[in-house]
Structure 1
Amino acid sequence: MTPNAKTEEIRQHGVKGVYYAGNWLDIEDCDGVFQNVEKSCSGCDFQDACPRSRSRKVAAKDDDTYDVVIIGAGCIGAAIARELSRYKISVLWVEAGDDVSQGATKGNSGIVHAGYDDKPGSNRAKYCWKGNQMFAALDKELRFGYQTNGSLVLAFKEADKKVLNNLLKRGKTNGVQNLRIVERAELLRMEPHVHPDAIAALYSPDAGNVIPYEVLSRFQFYASENAVDNGVELRIRRQVMDIQNKDKGHMMVTLKYWEPEDYVRAIAQAGKATVFNFAMYAVGATTVAHFFVTKGSAHKQNEKYHLAVLCFLWILSKLVPFIFPNAATSKVDRSIPLCHLVDQASPPVGTGGGHPVSVPDMLVGGSGGPRPMQGKIVSTEKIKTKFVVNCAGGAADEIARLVGDDSFNIKPRLGDYILLNRNQGYLAKHTLFPCPDPKLGKGVLVQTTLWGNLILGPTARDVGNEEARKMSSAAVQEYILAKCKQLVPGFDPRETFHAFCGARAKSDRGDWIIEHSKNDARMIHVAGIDSPGLAGSPAIALDVIEMLRKAGLTTETNQSFNPNRAPIVIPKVGMKGLKMGPVGKFDSDGSNMEQMAANVVCKCEKVTELEIVRAIRRSLPIDSSQGIRKRTRAGMGHCQGDPENYNCEARVRAIIARENGVPIEHVGGRPWPATSTLSQRWINEKEKQHLVDCMNVE
């Protein structure tokens, strides 16, 4: 079977249809559901771009206080923020990274687990199945793309079948429905490419799949946008440094607002240049005024003097860029052709020079956190609030200690993944697991994503274990490929085009922590939410709202709340209506909707200029190509933004600069290597052969 034939066998979200509310929807049925829905959805009017590092709306009350501050913009924070936006509550949502979904959330499988392997009586068991059953309805409102593809836990020997039966019983205890054991013959009909040694599997048809890798899911982005549309205020690049008991009714939260060093330097230089230009203007104006009031025989001499001064000032004005290097102006002319901005963009980074993101940095924003971005504090903000919800993921224990609460510790566990091209996606229809390890849990998986790629992993490297933490990239790759080969032996590791890692926020209690702080009941901890946290997130949010109510929060219904959110990505049929060409050929100035809708910016994923502009003009601040990459997939295809292919990263940065009205130097690019185990962004033949060798290690 040829690769093209294999590709045709799998469905790709956004290509000839979409996954909607768990099922596939053909493109002819998308009208009014996934297309042309703007009139009934929130936040879809074409607004100006957001201010830098914050949403447009300020939610503070007249006395400059808030009802609730949410710390952490991962999937848990997003679910809670959206639920709070249903009520007339002033909510401030803060994130230490440079975008939502920058911590543990972005390095994830994207699986909506059913909950059959969670310990009965645990918080995981309490929330997983309940949350799983909420996802179809959530997708009808937010349209993030959700597929109930089901999961299979594979058995390879008789002892494994006993494990499957135990999982079946545990699942039923947890309330999970529709579970059953399938024997070998049925298993091979369901998954013809599974390892031939498999003899049975536990089948959970309710397990689901959202958009995984790099970003946990479009669910999180759309929930975030919907929350902000309905009144929540978001501030990014804010680190919580202190929390004090202001009085009996309020807490004082101190935030340090940071920006990348290059941006801070450019703004400072621009400020100096502005002062310098103003001084030259003042001197020039004074010179001209003096010229007109000068009389008598000295007129000719004064005329030469004034002319010399004005010439000197003109020369100085031309030297401003040299006197103040990097003095980027605060606005750019929208009439500047996009191709000129692309020419000004620095080339994408992808070979050498970079350093992997450290584990501490992964816990507070990853590659978009303050240290990797060489962040500089630009201001301190004091926030007065009645309640604080601690959803800080890997930093949740540090936030707890700010109020003297040392009741738990976060012990991160690293999970590494490898991503293969779409021509490998035919190999798995369900999410495939081995029998779980007693200590490490579910283990590796093989899964086809909603976009048709094959994803392999993750590892389970406890940071507290030095040997596991310091595993080499080669050892990580060898582990994933060898383990996944035992599930599906036929994948081709040469089709790898991306790899990444996430840090799961495991707690030392061994379960999710959802409770009031022992030191201050006005703080609610939602901490240690590792797998299956995505599945449980909407159910957790409901209980957090109830906890806040019982603690005294007044929840008057927000009558203007709109639960619906229009998608950014537009379903397509091949190249129908699209135009691909070099930079400048089909680009618009941002005002011609038809031209933007046709102009393809990312060739691999067929992302249009209009889709990028829509994302920028929505409710969340975007000032980097990474923000667009996670929302539209521009640059996330098999060429990984190769400038020799279509140079989409530079094109995206240029569009952001134009839409935000800022110099292109203010627009961030994709860092490298971030958390990748690959030696370079554009994998070569030598590394492909290395992956083949890793897979063949016995």
Structure 2
Amino acid sequence: MTEHPQHGVKGVYYGGDWVDIEDCGKVFNVDEKQCSGCDFQAPCPRSRSRYISCKNDGSYDVLIIGAGCIGAAIARELSRYKVHTCWVEAADDVSQGATKGNSGIVHAGYDDTPGTNRAKYCWPGNQMFAQLDKELRFGYQKNGSLVVAFNENDRKHLQELLERGTTNGVQNLRIVEKEELFRLEPHLNPKAIAALYSPDAGNVIPYEFAIALAENAVDNGVELRIRRQVTEIETTDKGLFRVKVDHWEPEHYMKTIGRAKVPDMLTNWLQIAACVVLLHFAGGVAELWSLPYDGQLHMAAVVQWLGFSLLIKFVGNKPVTKSTPVTSLIEKAGLPEGHGDKGKVDVEDMLVGGSGSQKVMSGEVVNTEWIRCKYIINCAGGYSDKIARMIGDESFTIKPRLGDYILLNRNQGKLVTRTLFPCPDPKLGKGVLVQTTLWGNLILGPTARDMHEEGARTMSPASIQEYILSKCKLLVGDFDPTETIHAFAGARAKSSRGDWIIEPSEKNPNMIHVAGIDSPGLAGSPAIALNVIEILKNAGVKMDPNPIFKPNRAPIIIPKEGMKGLKFGPPGKNDSDGSNKDQMAQNVICKCEKVTELEVVTAMRRSLPIDSSQGIRKRTRAGMGHCQGDPNNYCCEARVRAIIARENGVKIGEVGGRPWPATSTLSERWIGEAEKKQLLERMKKA
């Protein structure tokens, strides 16, 4: 094992530990008969998963609102049972909220106040990650964490954290003195005197974790619909919820298919026409869209989907085919965005999907759906208080706290091995940290900007960067800020109660709030999901085992050994038509991260709908390297968009790109020498 291994490079992190590439075949690769995601299916319908999971009367047992890591963990646990589950997400993909913009730390739980929900769920959740990763293969590194003391007051606080962690059940905690500390982390600030060491802390890529959970949940029978914004909740005389959901599509897509806004009457007539088509071809369609549990098909839901499909077919443009050359599609894709302020994301947007939200993407509502269900699980993150108010529940308010980050190149990851914290601030929490990621980058941040405070809300990008650099410099002084490749932010859903809310609503106990889940929510998510299952069982939900449940998921990313077996070249040189796996496995699409065509196609043919390069970026890392998809380097974003168009059989204009600037504090996506100089000056000033 190398000193600082990087996931996917000559091996992988699996179950918390490192596995060399020669051993991956024994433990990391999976038996196709025993896993989900191995069958290489056709891509999903637009904005939804393939399966429909409702009952014969069109209703569902459970509706999950929100597809971050909390919703994904709950969906995956529910998929173990024969429970008819619908899952809706307001954004254009899973993991587009706080899950996309956090540190990815699997905290141990020593910082949480005893007796709180944070303390109750963090350590148990931490202990579940090794097994989860062995099943789902999202990549989990148990690298440990250090809370660093610089004076005697800090040292006293370490003792307090140790005692608090012991009360919370956290194991293996100990205080290390200076000599051992610098053996563990030689690049620490020389003024450090001691640290609280938690060897059980770890890290994941948070969106890859959520995607793995979501894929497995959907593979096992959960129905997912994205671009669905909940706008109203009613109750029926039969005790069911009736949930109004707006289905929207982005502006670029609507323009490409040539569709102006269509009156509801036309949509209704098209749905009626779809019903006739369905009845005529019932045999073939029913076989394709059969439910995973009992093979039965619910007419109304399919009519709704076919109605929109026919709308596209009759009003839209002719799609591309598999024979369309990728090179011609790349030429039509255009250059990726990396300048200006179009697409800037504000805090309100971040509560409903950030760069993937309806407002930011100038989305248009194309259909209104009504979902009937017995139970609602409200894990809508920053929007969860608004969901609660739809049933008259005003018991909590979400107060967003913005966390800003700076991401450095892989060549900086060697400076640290463990996650480094300062002693936590009584008001602002764990503080700004320095951490190596699973992929070998160095991540700096986050800030803790409460959006109800004007000073925090109006901080300039320069002030944010200077704050992060100054705090991180106190921990590790020799990182190079000119190696910055990306900057981003996430909005944490802090609640007015000051703790996580995991309980049935007092207004209607059939709505279960899983709200206000801020840090360390990712660590606690698997344990929270188990508790939600118990709440549902106690409420009377019948939990018969799902006979087709498969706990294992095949990985998307293939570990690589240098350049071995790979072919590099301009668009068109090594591209396939999507049918030759061996050819696709050799063809490199993204040079920085060595992403192959096969990895892109594998992601496309999984169980979650993908129609943007951003979706592929989160699953394969295409465009996440040091060049950030620079078109002058390898033009990987256009290449990815071309493959998506080919796989989905659509025009290139229907395929979304990576938004810019989204939440970045950088002036341009590809920073030049002037901005690098500014970052260096801010580092020195700090």
383 and 330 in structure 1: CA distance in 2 versus 1, 3 angstrom threshold: farther
1:269 Cα deviation from its structure 2 partner: 4.1
2:509 and 2:256 map into 1 onto residues whose CA distance is 43
Q: 1:497 — aligned with what?
A: 485
What amino acid maps onto 2:80 in structure 1? R
1:356 Cα deviation from its structure 2 partner: 2.2
1:266 Cα deviation from its structure 2 partner: 3.1
2:325 and 2:257 map into 1 onto residues whose CA distance is 24
- Which one of the candidate residues 218, 222, 225 is aligned to 1:232? 222
Q: 1:429 — aligned with what?
A: 417
Equivalent runs, 1:149-228 vs 2, <5 Å: 149-211=143-205, 216-228=206-218
2:467 and 2:344 map into 1 onto residues whose CA distance is 19
2:145 and 2:521 map into 1 onto residues whose CA distance is 17
Equivalent runs, 1:9-48 vs 2, <5 Å: 9-48=3-42
2:147 and 2:32 map into 1 onto residues whose CA distance is 41
1:354 Cα deviation from its structure 2 partner: 1.9
- Which one of the candidate residues 90, 98, 112 is aligned to 1:104? 98
1:268 Cα deviation from its structure 2 partner: 4.1
**Residues 344 and 360 of structure 2 are in contact (CA less than 8 Å); yes or no, is this contact kept in structure 1?**
no
What amino acid maps onto 1:218 in structure 2? E
Q: 2:495 — aligned with what?
A: 507
1:222 Cα deviation from its structure 2 partner: 0.6
1:9 Cα deviation from its structure 2 partner: 4.0
Q: How many residues align?
A: 636
**Residues 320 and 646 of structure 2 are in contact (CA less than 8 Å); yes or no, is this contact kept in structure 1?**
yes
Q: What SS does structure 2 have at the residue aligned with 1:521?
A: coil
What amino acid maps onto 2:441 in structure 1? N
1:563 and 1:541 map into 2 onto residues whose CA distance is 15
Q: 2:580 — aligned with what?
A: 592
- Which one of the candidate residues 633, 649, 653 is aligned to 1:665? 653
2:156 and 2:93 map into 1 onto residues whose CA distance is 45
Q: 1:301 — aligned with what?
A: none
2:505 and 2:130 map into 1 onto residues whose CA distance is 33
Deviations 1:271-296 (A, max 9, x none): 99xx9xxxxxxxxxxxxxxxxxxxxx
Q: What SS does structure 2 have at the residue aligned with 1:411?
A: strand
Equivalent runs, 1:135-534 vs 2, <5 Å: 135-211=129-205, 216-269=206-259, 329-534=317-522
1:261 Cα deviation from its structure 2 partner: 1.9
Q: What SS does structure 1 have at the residue aligned with 2:685?
A: coil
Equivalent runs, 1:653-692 vs 2, <5 Å: 653-692=641-680
Q: 2:596 — aligned with what?
A: 608
Q: 2:305 — aligned with what?
A: none
Q: 2:50 — aligned with what?
A: 56
What amino acid maps onto 2:245 in structure 1? L
Equivalent runs, 1:623-638 vs 2, <5 Å: 623-638=611-626
**Residues 486 and 669 of structure 2 are in contact (CA less than 8 Å); yes or no, is this contact kept in structure 1?**
yes
225 and 141 in structure 1: CA distance in 2 versus 1, 3 angstrom threshold: same
1:545 and 1:554 map into 2 onto residues whose CA distance is 11
1:463 and 1:627 map into 2 onto residues whose CA distance is 28
1:503 Cα deviation from its structure 2 partner: 0.2
1:409 Cα deviation from its structure 2 partner: 0.1
Equivalent runs, 1:71-150 vs 2, <5 Å: 71-150=65-144
1:228 Cα deviation from its structure 2 partner: 0.1
Q: What SS does structure 2 have at the residue aligned with 1:696?
A: helix
**Residues 270 and 329 of structure 1 are in contact (CA less than 8 Å); yes or no, is this contact kept in structure 2?**
no
What amino acid maps onto 1:342 in structure 2? I
**Residues 446 and 457 of structure 1 are in contact (CA less than 8 Å); yes or no, is this contact kept in structure 2?**
yes
1:355 Cα deviation from its structure 2 partner: 4.6
Deviations 1:353-407 (A, max 9, x none): 4252010000000000000000111010011100000000000000000000000
1:692 and 1:8 map into 2 onto residues whose CA distance is 30
1:90 and 1:551 map into 2 onto residues whose CA distance is 16
1:217 and 1:102 map into 2 onto residues whose CA distance is 8
1:423 Cα deviation from its structure 2 partner: 1.0
Q: What SS does structure 2 have at the residue aligned with 1:525?
A: strand
Q: 1:321 — aligned with what?
A: none
TM-score after normalising by structure 1: 0.90
TM-score after normalising by structure 2: 0.91
1:38 and 1:396 map into 2 onto residues whose CA distance is 38
Q: What SS does structure 2 have at the residue aligned with 1:692?
A: helix
**Residues 459 and 480 of structure 1 are in contact (CA less than 8 Å); yes or no, is this contact kept in structure 2?**
yes
1:34 Cα deviation from its structure 2 partner: 1.9
**Residues 168 and 180 of structure 1 are in contact (CA less than 8 Å); yes or no, is this contact kept in structure 2?**
yes
Gap regions ≥5 residues in structure 2:
267-314
1:424 and 1:562 map into 2 onto residues whose CA distance is 39
Runs of 4+ off more than 6 Å: none
**Residues 356 and 675 of structure 1 are in contact (CA less than 8 Å); yes or no, is this contact kept in structure 2?**
yes
Larger gyration radius, structure 1 or structure 2: 1
**Residues 59 and 91 of structure 1 are in contact (CA less than 8 Å); yes or no, is this contact kept in structure 2?**
yes
1:333 Cα deviation from its structure 2 partner: 1.9
Please provide the CA RMSD for this pair.
Answer: 1.5
43 and 201 in structure 1: CA distance in 2 versus 1, 3 angstrom threshold: same
Deviates more, 1:262-271 or 1:682-691: 262-271
1:460 and 1:474 map into 2 onto residues whose CA distance is 16
Equivalent runs, 1:502-581 vs 2, <5 Å: 502-581=490-569
Q: Percent identity between the aligned chains?
A: 70
1:143 and 1:38 map into 2 onto residues whose CA distance is 14
Q: What SS does structure 2 have at the residue aligned with 1:31?
A: helix
Q: 2:63 — aligned with what?
A: 69
**Residues 144 and 217 of structure 1 are in contact (CA less than 8 Å); yes or no, is this contact kept in structure 2?**
no
Q: What SS does structure 2 have at the residue aligned with 1:506?
A: strand
Q: 2:285 — aligned with what?
A: none
What amino acid maps onto 2:179 in structure 1? A
**Residues 257 and 654 of structure 2 are in contact (CA less than 8 Å); yes or no, is this contact kept in structure 1?**
no
2:92 and 2:381 map into 1 onto residues whose CA distance is 15
Gap regions ≥5 residues in structure 1:
1-6, 276-326
What amino acid maps onto 2:7 in structure 1? H
